[in-house]
Amino acid sequence: MTRSADPLRELARERGRTLGELGVQPQDAKWARAEAEAIASLTRPQMRLRLPAPLSRALRRLLRLVR
């Protein structure tokens, strides 16, 4: 097998092969959406705010209470 000059095409081929082995059909919209979101999440920069420990704990408690 010869390697493609375009790594994205190679990745798409391999991904398609793997999903086919799992039994995913092209009309499975849930799988397609979940996969697209997973790939998109890898391209978005993540801004993490590092809070001081006491403030972080208080925020977690507050979020737990709101749920």
Q: Provide the residue type at 37 as one letter.
A: E
Indicate if the pLDDT at residue 1 is higher than 70: no
Indicate if the pLDDT at residue 62 is higher than 80: yes
Domain ranges of the chain: 1-44
- Whether the Cβ atoms of residue 24 and residue 31 lie closer than 8 Å to each other: yes
pLDDT of residue 43: 75
Count CA within 13 A, CB hemisphere, residue 55.
4
pLDDT of residue 61: 92
Exposed, middle or buried by CB within 10 Å (0-12, 13-18, 19+), for 35?
middle
Indicate if the pLDDT at residue 2 is higher than 60: no
Q: What is the DSSP code (8-state) at residue 51?
A: -
Q: How confident is the model over 6-56, as pLDDT tens digits?
A: 777 787 788 888 888 888 887 888 877 887 787 777 777 766 778 788 888
